[in-house]
Amino acid sequence: MSSRPLPSATWRATVVVAVVAAVLLTLVPPVSAKTAAGFQGGVRSRTNAVRVERDLPQLRKESCVQKYAARQARRMAKQGKMFHQDLKPVLRNCSLTSVGENVAYGYSSATDVLKAWMDSAPHRANIVKKRYRLLGVGARKSASGTWYLAQVFGRK
């Protein structure tokens, strides 16, 4: 028989409060993106969460596809319009065997843009494509305050 004292009621209450707080934080609605890095990280983590739910491997960040995603978001924000880039240079310069891209604008949170992409069959297909292993995410705010986003997917 142990002679250790049982945890105090105060300690148990602290643990309960911490657990409840952690659960409540997961229920908080998405906040607007404040920085490009924050938006990119949110899109990356939510994209990987979708893949994990479907028993697909998580996509890893890779510098070459990241460069092209960031450049595309920057170009769209500068021009104030959404468009796809020519993916042949991405395929060649990043030494990929396959490549895909999702673009969007006007969303203020990673949750909202991922929902829109998942509600669109061609965008969803890119997110859940089994062969992809790499992901670059670019986010840039235009002079008018509109967010432009690009995801570049690939496989070596």
Distance CA 45, CA 110 (A): 9
Confidence at residue 122, expressed as pLDDT on a 0 to 100 scale: 98
Q: Give the dihedral of Cα atoms 54, 56, 62, 65; nearest 10 deg.
A: -70
Structural tokens at position 5: 């004292």
CA distance 74 to 76: 6
**Superfamily designation of domain 36-155:** CAP (3.40.33.10)
Helix axes 110-118, 121-128, angle to 10 degrees: 110
Would you state the pLDDT for residue 7?
54
Sequence-ordered alpha helix ranges (H) in the chain: 9-26, 36-53, 63-79, 88-93, 110-118, 121-128
Helix (H, G, I), strand (E, B) or coil at 92: helix
Q: What's residue 124's pLDDT?
A: 98
The Cα 127–Cα 118 span in angstroms is: 8
The Cβ of residue 46 has, within 10 Å, a number of other Cβ atoms equal to 20
Residue 120: predicted pLDDT: 98
Instruction: Determine whether 100 is exposed, middle or buried from the number of CB atoms within 10 Å of its CB (0-12, 13-18, 19+).
Output: buried
Residue-wise pLDDT tens digits, 4-50: 454 565 545 554 444 444 444 444 344 455 899 999 999 999 999 99
* Predicted pLDDT at 17: 43
Domain ranges across the chain: 36-155
Which pLDDT score, from 0 to 100, does residue 12 have?
57
The pTM score is 0.78
Collapsing DSSP to helix, strand or coil, 60 comes out as strand
Per-residue pLDDT of 106-154, as tens digits, reads 999 999 999 999 999 999 999 999 999 999 999 999 999 999 999 999 9
